[in-house]
């Protein structure tokens, strides 16, 4: 319980009543921002955000850009809590400079995104989109797809979501290849995975699933050259970040029949609006199953991430350590939870 009531502003949609009660019971007065139709915290102006957050001690944020000028305008703010695990839109140096804590909702959405990853693999391999369209258009011809069972799946990156994907894949008797900068021999032995370099993974895999963070050195990790290494009937899955894939190159590979299909929950155009036409072409393709960066957006997943973000807020306001893996920037707490 915080020593005196604090102000928490939430600028994300789908914030559940249970988490609101948790914050209120822990000494917080909560305001859930209401934006005009078509506006989110990602598209709101800095002036709008400052007006909302001027009296806030804590901010539970979605996809807004958190800049130095914004943080300087919010001297009372102590913590920026991401309801999610990506923090590329938060200027971490600015947070350090202005003395703000930054947290993520580690452990909240990984099960939901892992489920979506498998759903995209199966959806593309079994040609579910095309088969449904056949039924809509008539007469409903039978289209042959591919099994996931007993195939080879390449996992790029080995964080929480990737490990949950691997755990699910074991039920399909697949061979799992992993490319990661930090191989864990004990994990490989326990889960029966094989560590390989990226080129080997791309050549051998029937499915390639991306789970790497987006950083300057991972931008276009999958480009035209690397797409050319993949099997002609392989499926690319991206539920991580759009910038990991050169979407123009992916579109070209699909159009030329050099790839079996793609399952996409993220797109390069999210950060590069000039690529919106490329996204439109990708999602219209029959060999692409696409969702709008919504892999974590289940009722259960959002309740979990809401609660983790709220725990982070209460911990920081109490000068306690947030849950494990959640603190990205912030002073060392004087005591732990």
Alpha carbon 233 to its chain's center: 26
Tokens at 100, concatenated = 């703000």
Express each pLDDT in 23-81 by its tens digit. Answer: 999 999 999 999 988 889 999 999 999 999 999 999 999 989 999 999 999 999 999 99
Q: Which are the catalytic amino acids?
A: 241, 270, 293
194 three-state secondary structure: strand
pLDDT at position 337: 44
Domains annotated for the chain, with CATH where assigned, are 6-108+298-329 (3.40.50.720), 110-290 (3.40.50.720)
Helix, strand, coil percentages for the chain (3-state, nearest 5) = 40, 15, 45
pLDDT above 90 for 140: no
Of 326, 325, 321, nearest to 337 (Cα)?
321
pLDDT on residue 117 = 98
Confidence band (pLDDT; 50, 70, 90) for 3?
Answer: low
Cis status of the peptide bond prior to 315, with omega within 30 of 0:
no
DSSP 24-46: HHTTEEEEE--PPTT--TTTS-H
Question: How far apart are alpha carbons 320 and 335 in whole angstroms?
Answer: 5
What count of other Cβ atoms lies within 10 Å of the Cβ of residue 105?
Answer: 29
Pick from 250, 248, 171: nearest CA to 208: 250
> Around 230, how many Cα atoms within 13 Å sit in the side-chain half-sphere?
30
Q: How many helices (H) and strands (E) does the chain have?
A: 13, 13
What pTM did the predictor assign?
0.90
pLDDT in tens, 262-282: 999 999 999 899 999 999 999
């Amino acid at each position: 319980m915080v020593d005196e009531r604090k102000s928490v502003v939430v600028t994300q949609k789908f914030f559940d009543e249970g988490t609101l009660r948790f914050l209120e019971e822990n000494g917080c007065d909560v305001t859930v921002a209401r934006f005009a139709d078509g506006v989110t915290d990602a598209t709101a102006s800095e002036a709008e955000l400052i007006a909302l957050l001027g009296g806030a001690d804590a901010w539970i944020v979605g996809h807004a850009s958190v800049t130095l000028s914004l943080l300087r305008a919010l001297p009372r703010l102590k913590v920026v809590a991401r309801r999610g695990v990506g923090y590329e839109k938060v200027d971490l140096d600015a947070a350090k400079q202005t003395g703000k804590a930054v947290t993520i909702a580690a452990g909240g959405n990984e099960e939901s995104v892992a489920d979506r990853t498998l759903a995209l693999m199966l959806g593309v391999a079994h040609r579910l989109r095309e088969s449904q369209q056949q039924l809509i258009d008539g007469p409903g011809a039978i289209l042959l797809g591919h099994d996931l069972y007993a195939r080879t799946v390449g996992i790029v990156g080995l964080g929480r979501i990737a490990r949950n994907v691997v755990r699910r894949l074991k039920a399909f008797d697949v061979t799992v290849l992993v490319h990661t900068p930090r191989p864990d021999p004990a994990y490989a032995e326990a889960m029966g995975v094989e560590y390989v370099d990226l080129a080997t993974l791309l050549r051998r895999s029937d499915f390639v699933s991306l789970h790497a963070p987006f950083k300057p050195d991972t931008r276009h990790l999958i480009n035209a050259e690397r797409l050319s290494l993949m099997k002609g009937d392989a499926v690319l899955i991206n539920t991580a970040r759009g910038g990991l894939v050169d979407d123009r190159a992916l579109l070209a590979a699909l159009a030329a029949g050099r790839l079996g299909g793609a399952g996409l929950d993220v797109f390069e155009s999210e950060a590069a609006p000039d690529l919106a036409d490329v996204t439109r072409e990708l999602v219209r393709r029959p060999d692409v199953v696409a969702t709008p960066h919504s892999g974590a957006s289940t009722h259960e997943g959002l309740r979990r991430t809401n609660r983790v973000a709220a725990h982070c807020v209460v911990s920081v306001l109490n000068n306690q350590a947030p849950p494990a893996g959640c603190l990205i920037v912030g002073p060392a707490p004087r005591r732990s939870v």
